[in-house]
Structure 1
Amino acid sequence: MNSTRYTTLDVLRGSSVLFLIPLHCMMMYATAETWKNSILGELMLIAERGTPVFLIVMGFSFVFSKRQSAKAVLKRGFKILGVGYLLNTLKFVVPILTGILPANLIEAHGLAQSTSLSNMLHFFLLGDILQLAGVSLLIMGILTPLLHNKYAVLLFGLIIIGTAKLVSGFNVNVIGIDYLLDLLWSNKYNVYFPIFPWMSFILMGRFLGMLYKEHKASSKKYNQLVLFYALGIIGFGMLLCVIDYTYHFGDYYHLGPGGTLLLLGVNMLFLSIVPLFVKFIPQQINQLLLFTSKNVTSFYIIQWVIIDWGMGIFGFAQLNQFQILLIIPFYTLLTFIILKFKDNLWLASSERELKRSL
Structure 2
Amino acid sequence: MEQQSKRILTLDLIKGMSVIGMIIIHTLLIYANVKSQSETAIGSFIVFLGRGTSIFLICMGITFMTSSHQSLTSSLKRGFLLVFAGLFMNFMKFMIPVIFGFAPDNFIQKYGWDAPIEQQYVYLVLLGDILQLAGMSLLFVGFIRKYVTNKYGILAIGLIVALVSREMSGITVDYPVINYILDLLFNTNYPAYVYFPVFPWMSFIIIGMFFGKWFMELNYNSSKLFRNMLYTGLVFVALGAPLVFIYSDYNYNGFYHMGPGGVIYFAGWTMIFLWIIFRLTSGSKENGWMRLLKYCSRNLTSMYMIQWILISWGKGIFGYRQHSIGYVLLLIVFYIFLTFAVQMLVDLIRKKKPFISFRPFPADKTALK
Instruction: Name the structure 1 match of 2:155.
Output: 154
Q: Against the structure 1 CA distance between its residues 247 and 139, is the aligned structure 2 distance closer, same or farther, given a 3 Å change threshold?
A: same
1:205 paired residue number: 208
Shift of 1:108: 1.4
Distance 1:140 1:235 in 2: 27
Bigger mean CA offset, 20-29 vs 128-137: 20-29
Q: 1:134 maps to what in 2?
A: 135
Q: Counterpart of 1:77?
A: 79
Q: 2:247 aligns with which of 228, 244, 247?
A: 244
Confirm or deny: 8 A CA contact 1:96 1:115 kept in the other structure. Answer: no
Equivalent pair of 2:60/2:208 in contact (CA under 8 Å): yes
Q: Structure 1 vs Structure 2: percent identity of aligned residues?
A: 38
The residue that corresponds to 1:316 in the other structure is 320
Contact 2:83 2:136 in 1 (8 A): yes
**Structure 1 residues 240-290: Cα deviation after superposition (integer angstroms, max 9, x where no partner):** 112123433331100012221111111112332222221347611111111
Match of 1:65 in 2: 67
Comparing 188-197 and 6-15, the one that deviates more: 188-197
Q: Distance in 2 between matches of 1:228 and 1:143?
A: 24
Structure 1 contact 74–142 (Cα < 8 Å) conserved:
no
Q: Distance in 1 between matches of 2:10 and 2:135?
A: 24
Q: Which residue of 1 aligns with 2:271?
A: 268
In 2, Cα distance between equivalents of 1:184 and 1:207: 22
Give 5+ residue unaligned stretches, structure 2. 354-369
Identify the match of residue 304 of structure 2 among 300, 306, 309.
300
1:238 to partner: Cα distance: 0.7
Question: Which deviates further from its counterpart, 130-139 or 23-32?
Answer: 23-32
* Structure 2 Cα separation of the partners of residues 243 and 264 of structure 1: 18
Q: CA–CA distance in 1 between the matches of 2:270 and 2:5?
A: 21
In structure 2, distance between residues paired with 1:269 and 1:63: 20
Distance (Å, rounded) in 2 between the aligned partners of 1:42 and 1:31: 12
Deviation string 1:16-54 (CA, Å, 9 cap, x unpaired) is 111011100111112111121011221122211111111
Task: Note if contact 1:106-1:112 (Cα within 8 Å) is conserved in structure 2.
Answer: no
Q: 2:31 aligns with which of 19, 29, 42?
A: 29
Structure 2 residue 123 is the aligned partner of structure 1 residue 111: no
Instruction: Check if 1:332 corresponds to 2:333.
Output: no
Q: CA RMSD in A?
A: 2.1
CA shift digits 1:192-219 (9 cap, x unpaired)? 0001110001101111110111113654
Q: Could you give the per-residue CA deviations for residues 175-234 of structure 1, whole angstroms, max 9, x where no partner exists?
A: 222111111110547100001110001101111110111113654433332111111101
Report the counterpart of residue 197 of structure 2 in structure 1: 194
**Take 1:224 and 1:135, find their aligned partners in 2: how far apart are those partners?**
31
Q: Which amino acid is 1:292 matched to?
A: C
Question: 1:84-137, CA deviations, whole angstroms, 9 ceiling, x for partnerless residues?
Answer: 111011111111222222222211123359652x12321111110000000000
Alignment length (residue pairs): 348
Cα distance in 2 between the residues matched to 1:145 and 1:125: 30
**In 2, distance between residues paired with 1:35 and 1:150?**
41
AA aligned opposite 1:67: H
User: Per the alignment, do residues 179 and 187 of structure 1 end up closer, same or farther by CA in structure 2, a change over 3 Å counting?
Assistant: closer
**Consecutive unaligned residues in structure 1, runs of 5 or more:** 350-358
Indicate the SS of the match to 1:176. Answer: helix
Task: Determine the C-alpha separation between the residues in 2 that align with 1:348 and 1:56.
Answer: 28
Is contact 1:14-1:296 (8 Å) kept? Answer: yes
Aligned counterparts of 1:71 and 1:298: Cα–Cα separation in 2? 22
Are residues 326 and 167 of structure 1, via their aligned partners in 2, closer, same or farther at CA, if it must alter by over 3 Å?
same
Corresponding residue of 1:181? 182
Give the Cα separation in 1 of the matches to 2:28 and 2:49: 11
1:97 corresponding residue in structure 2: 99
Measured in 1, the distance between the counterparts of 2:101 and 2:350 equals 32
Distance in 2, matches of 1:77 and 1:217, equals: 26
Equivalence for 2:356: none
